[in-house]
Chains A and B, each alone.
Chain A
């Protein structure tokens, strides 16, 4: 059924909104829900989507592209270095052994040519980053050993797509050269030249990210328009993807590299939170498209061949993974999870197979067949996970829960107990003072120049709008003890405080207030630790005025401290009174009214009355006996 954009969008969204919550309710996870939605609306069941499924696939592949950008962003080089043994060891075993076994079968049993066997087996050895990460995230298994190993192997696969894409043109031989797109700049180059261009493009991205993107984002962030930053983030991903496509490379890889380059910049978390919703939706679309493009007629014609291929590929991958897991000492329950999670053929297979067909390395019949197998294997994974969860895992005394907790302890230790939002003149004084006394704080600030400087000075700084929930979470609000709200703008400060009170009620809030009126707002919000800029400084100045007028230093100091104590008590008292005068809309009137009330209050208090400490005057005045 061909339809307008709105109709297509309607079909996809309805399918997703119906199927995904249903699948989640049944404990199947969102990926399976999306895939089922795709199958349901696809040409073989309801037939809402026909040939345009393929077009949508192209749009949806952009979700994979974005996911890889975000994975790249997550990839802290330090973390990566810690994982290097697992990434390269486990990853190499998985890719290498799977490719050799599958390639051997293709070559010896099925009689494929050398290049065809290699291309097919490389494509089939890939697993699906999208499915696995989504599943891990949903089940909260990201930090279990099985989850970490899965991430490591996926990382190796993602990285190895670069050389594979570089090698494929060489497999095609000198006579055949094709590329992903008709307008590719690579057309007409020899195989070796294409390889050189691929390597050059990767290097180009590294330079582009470091010397163009970061300064550009700094410029954008100075404009302080959130949607501009979101637009720039999207633009960045699209530009990289487009350029990569132009030179005939995988956009996914290009953005992955761009992500890695930006992982260490101050914009990491801002980019992450800006792109995350796009990624989620597009990935969902991608899974629906996968479901919708499964060629059921091909399967119906050759059910035995297809199911045979799927089962043997998945089986071989599982066994290889299990052996790799054993070598790296995974416990049985974790190893089974790991083997099941990575057993499918992933979305990169689509990319590699398409590329191989264009290069004439694999013919159309086999690419269609293998693509169908890929899609089927992807639908199998969530089912396997479900079976594992319900039937197999219970036999192993389920250690995943406690295991994941132990693993999570590491990052918690790195987080500070104090979060300091706003590092302007006010916040920086607090931060410096705390640091001088050995209390490190996690700083949130939205001035990129300042963030840069602070990072150089070794502070732990997150760049971004502190009122955003995801940023607060990234800064460790869940485990912190205290939040210092020291943002310059009282409105944003108040917004931050209400967000924190709602989502992290355990955090003790220390709030900066510009003046008495900000303080009233904060009292109404239930904040107790309020620090008015205009109180302490002006009183300290007034103390010095008293001294210059002839008061002794200690007396002036005592008067000043008493005044602060009195004024803070009066603040609480007048905060209640303030609610009685809501009819005064005009702010100036309100201020004068308050000022008047304040001055009257001063008259009634014994503020000017002397206490008798160290004062013998009352004694001399009294007629009682002299004691001292």
Chain B
């Protein structure tokens, strides 16, 4: 049974992003995958709640794809969370419309993997910074998958970008196929962690 994937893409300066251009290009153009460019769709930040909720209902897996600004999501994505995940709909009394959907972040960070540690410059890991998002997902009765992280984007080589884009494509195809199990991702820090290229993407 195939699954439907909704990619909520939020990048205020997409035209200048090498990493996200490559990642977006890698997204398979198939009916099971919906690519939704929030900054393009809502240049005035006036998110159409009803439209967004309909989209959510039509999909099984939600991907928040965005750059990691100030250890968090860009304002558009926060606006989306604030407006769309309504009380009584997504959470709270009777709010079970999103139950059992999967959510994950696909993000790019300027700093290398090593910079995100207790004894390093950023003092916390990416997973720790994502705690509010993880809890938001939990509160809405959904499952939070480990993030797909591209590190060191300021200095990353084209080859490494292509490599990550390729892995992103494989991941989406794997998710769409419907054979992935939640247990597969248990205990993973990053969903794309099992190669060296991720950890030292400089």
A604–chain B nearest beta-carbon distance, Å: 15
A286 to B91, CA, bound (A): 87
Residue with the highest number of chain A CB atoms closer than 10 Å, among B48, B83, B87, B91: B87
Cβ-neighbour of B88 out of A561, A612, A613, A614 (below 8 A): A612
- The answer to whether A611 and B93 have CB atoms under 8 Å apart is no
Chain A residues with CB under 8 Å of B178's CB are: none
Decide if A561 touches B87 in the complex (CB within 8 Å).
Answer: no
Q: How far is the CB of B107 from chain A (nearest CB, A)?
A: 24
Scan B128-141; emit 1 where CB is below 8 A from any A CB, else 0. Answer: 00000000000100
Q: Does A562 contact B (CB under 8 A)?
A: yes
Of B44, B82, B83, B92, the residue contacting A561 (CB under 8 A) is B44
Q: Does A329 contact B (CB under 8 A)?
A: no
Q: Mark B77-112, 1 if CB is under 8 A from A, else 0.
A: 000001100111001110000000000000000000
A277 at the binding interface (Cβ < 8 Å):
no
Interfacial chain B residues near A562, Cβ < 8 Å: 46
- Select one of A558, A613, A624 contacting B93, CB under 8 A: A624
- Asked if A579 is at the interface (CB within 8 A of a chain B CB), the reply is no
Q: Hey, which chain B residues are within 8 Å of A624, CB to CB?
A: 92-93
Per the bound structure, the CA–CA distance linking A623 and B88 in Å amounts to 11
The total of chain B residues at the interface (CB under 8 A) is 13
Cross-chain contact A613 with B92 (CB below 8 angstroms) = no
Inter-chain contact B91/A627, CB cutoff 8 Å:
yes
Which residues between 605 and 628 of chain A lie within 8 Å of chain B, taking CB atoms? 611-614, 618-619, 622-624, 627
A565 CA to B43 CA in the complex, in Å? 13
Among A565, A618, A623, point to the contact of B87 (Cβ < 8 A).
Answer: A618
Within 8 Å of chain A (Cβ to Cβ): is B180? no
Report yes or no: A627 in contact with B49, Cβ–Cβ below 8 A. no
Q: Which residue of B lies closest to A616 (CB)?
A: B87
Tell me the bound Cα distance from A565 to B44 in angstroms: 12
* Chain A residues whose C-beta falls within 8 Å of the C-beta of B83 in the assembled complex: 611, 613
Distance between A557 CB and nearest chain B CB, rounded to angstroms: 8
Q: A613-B86, A619-B87 are in contact. Are A627 and B92 (CB under 8 A)?
A: yes
Q: Besides A612-B87, A624-B93, 16 other CB < 8 A contacts?
A: A561-B46, A565-B48, A611-B49, A611-B86, A612-B86, A613-B49, A613-B83, A614-B82, A618-B87, A618-B88, A618-B92, A622-B87, A622-B92, A622-B93, A623-B93, A624-B92
Point out residues on A near B: beta carbons under 8 Å.
Answer: 558, 561-562, 565, 611-614, 618-619, 622-624, 627
Complex contacts, B44 vs chain A, CB 8 Å: 561
Q: Which residues of A contact B88 (CB under 8 A)?
A: 612, 618, 622
Q: State the CA gap A614–B88 with chains docked (Å).
A: 13
Query: Can you list 24 A-B contacts (CB < 8 A)?
Result: A561-B46, A562-B46, A565-B46, A565-B48, A611-B49, A611-B83, A611-B86, A612-B86, A612-B87, A612-B88, A613-B49, A613-B82, A613-B83, A613-B86, A618-B87, A618-B92, A619-B87, A619-B92, A622-B92, A623-B93, A624-B92, A624-B93, A627-B91, A627-B139
Task: Specify which chain B residues have a CB less than 8 angstroms from the CB of A614 in the assembled complex.
Answer: 82
Indicate the member of A613, A614, A618 with the most B CB atoms within 10 Å: A613
* Alpha-carbon gap, A558 to B49, bound state (A): 12
Partner of A558 from B46, B87, B91, B92 at Cβ < 8 Å: B46
User: Which residues does chain A contribute within 8 Å of B82, judged by CB atoms?
Assistant: 613-614
Q: A565–B93 Cα gap in the complex (Å)? A: 30
Give A627's nearest chain B residue, CB to CB: B139
Give Cα A334 to B169, complex, Å: 55
B interface vs A, CB < 8 Å? 44, 46, 48-49, 82-83, 86-88, 91-93, 139
Q: Bound complex: CA of A619 vs CA of B86, how far in Å?
A: 10
Q: 7 nearest interchain CB pairs?
A: A624-B93, A561-B46, A613-B83, A622-B93, A612-B86, A624-B92, A618-B87
Instruction: Kindly list chain A residues whose C-beta atoms are within 8 Å of the C-beta of B49.
Output: 611, 613
- Residue of A at shortest CB range from B92? A624
Chain A residue numbers with a CB within 8 Å of B48 are: 565
In the bound complex, residues from chain B placing their C-beta under 8 Å from that of A612 are 86-88
- Bound Cα distance from A57 to B92, whole angstroms: 95
Residues of chain B within 8 A of A565, CB atoms compared: 46, 48
Kindly list chain A residues whose C-beta atoms are within 8 Å of the C-beta of B93: 622-624
**Distance A554 CA – B113 CA, assembled complex (angstroms):** 39
Least Cβ distance of B53 to chain A in Å?
A: 11
CA distance A627 to B49 in the complex (A): 22
* Most chain B Cβ neighbours within 10 Å, of A612, A619, A627: A612
Bound-complex Cα distance A618 to B139 (A): 17
Q: Which residues of B contact A623 (CB under 8 A)?
A: 93
Give A606 Cβ to nearest chain B Cβ, in Å.
Answer: 9
Q: How far does the alpha carbon of A613 sit from the alpha carbon of B50 in the complex, in Å?
A: 12
Q: How far is the CB of B78 from chain A (nearest CB, A)?
A: 11
**In the bound complex, how far is the Cα of B88 from the Cα of A613, in angstroms?**
12
When chains A and B are docked, how far (Å) is the Cα of A623 from the Cα of B92? Answer: 9
Give Cα A614 to B86, complex, Å. Answer: 9
Nearest CB of A to B140, in Å: 10
Q: Please, how many angstroms separate the alpha-carbon atoms of A562 and B82 in the complex?
A: 17
Nearest A residue (CB) for B88:
A618
| Cα separation A562 to B88 with both chains bound (whole Å) | 22
Complex alpha-carbon distance, A618 and B86, angstroms: 10
Docked Cα-Cα span, A376 to B18, in Å, equals 71
| Bound form: Cα–Cα A623–B91 in Å | 13
Question: Which residue on A lies nearest to B79, using beta carbons?
Answer: A613
Question: What is the CA–CA distance of A465 and B12 in the complex, to the nearest angstrom?
Answer: 42
List, in ascending order, chain A residues with CB within 8 A of B46's CB. 558, 561-562, 565
Whole-angstrom distance from the CB of B132 to the nearest CB of chain A? 11
* Alpha-carbon distance between A226 and B67 when the two chains are bound, in angstroms: 59
* B residues less than 8 Å from A622 (CB atoms): 87-88, 92-93
Chain A, Cβ-Cβ closest to B86: A612
B31 to chain A, nearest CB (A): 25
Which chain A residue lies CB-closest to B42?
A561
Chain B proximity of A542: nearest CB distance (Å): 15
- CB proximity of A622 to chain B, nearest CB, Å: 4
- What is the CA–CA distance of A47 and B87 in the complex, to the nearest angstrom? 97
**How long is the Cα–Cα vector from A627 to B138 in the complex, in angstroms?**
11
Smallest Cβ-Cβ distance to A560: which chain B residue: B46
CB distance from B142 to the nearest CB of A (A): 14
Report the separation of the CA atoms of residues A561 and B43 in the bound assembly, to the nearest whole angstrom.
11
Roughly how many angstroms separate A622 CA and B93 CA in the complex, as a whole number? 7
Q: Output the least CB separation between B56 and chain A (Å).
A: 15
Identify which of B44, B86, B88, B92 gathers the most chain A CB atoms within 10 Å of its CB: B92
CB of A617, distance to nearest CB on chain B (Å): 9
Q: Chain B nearest CB: distance from A551 CB in Å?
A: 16
Chain A: which residue is nearest B82 at the CB level? A613
How far apart are A572's CB and chain B's nearest CB, in angstroms? 16
- Complex contacts, B92 vs chain A, CB 8 Å: 618-619, 622, 624, 627
With A and B bound together, what is the CA distance between A451 and B50 in angstroms? 48
> Of all chain A residues, which has the CB nearest B139?
A627
CA A611 to CA B52, docked complex, whole Å: 13
